[in-house]
Amino acid sequence: MKGMVFVELLQMAEQAMGEEAVDDIIESCDLPSGGAYSAVGNYPCAELMTLVQAFSAHTGAPENDLQRAFGRWMHERFVVSYPAFFRDKPDALAMLAAIEGEVHVEVRKLYPDVELPTFETERLSPRVLRLTYRSPRPLSDFCHGLVEGCLDHFGRAAVIERRDLSRPGESVAEFTITLAA
């Protein structure tokens, strides 16, 4: 997993808990990397899970809520760092439908070692998109937060239904996203 993801997680945590508490938590986690992340480096996803677990223990917030909040946070960062991807999309459904075939394709050109999930999309009607997330990493809640962040960014109310279809070794989440009429 890219270092930039860890850098952002620690920034979100610092905003919520303060730098000192985050430093103490990182230390208590005894991470192989020592918790010093370079945005361009690569680190095991297991370290992200360890950090989220430790932040959850410290704050009392469930891990899945923290992952989801982090997805929303990350989406805001993507909008700031990569505005071009968002500019030509008419709405959130168009953006979400373009991740697999356009956005993440460009991301892979920039960072050939990136670990990305796969998405299948099906347009059920002009207002409804079904997005199926698959990944060897347990990040369905992070994905949920990214979808919410994307809907917020485009500013049209929507309902997200989620079905968890995970099986051993693979996280699978099916999101059915309906834009308000």
3-state secondary structure of 143: helix
Distance CA 162, CA 172 (A): 10
Minimum CB distance to ligand HEM smaller for 60 or for 167: 167
Element (H, E) at 41: none
Q: Which residues pair with 19 in a beta bridge?
A: none
Residue 135 interacts with ligand HEM (CB under 6 A): yes or no:
yes
Q: Give me the least distance between CB of 173 and ligand HEM, in Å please.
A: 9
Residue 116 interacts with ligand HEM (CB under 6 A): yes or no:
yes
Q: Give me the least distance between CB of 147 and ligand HEM, in Å please.
A: 5
Distance CA 88, CA 34 (A): 41
Question: Per CB under 6 A, which region of 16-24, 26-34, 122-130, 145-153 contacts ligand HEM?
Answer: 145-153
Residue from the set 5, 54, 129, 177 that interacts with ligand HEM by CB under 6 A: 5
Where does 28-170 show beta strands of DSSP type E? Answer: 118-125, 128-135, 158-164
Question: Per CB under 6 A, which region of 14-22, 51-59, 74-82, 160-168 contacts ligand HEM?
Answer: 74-82
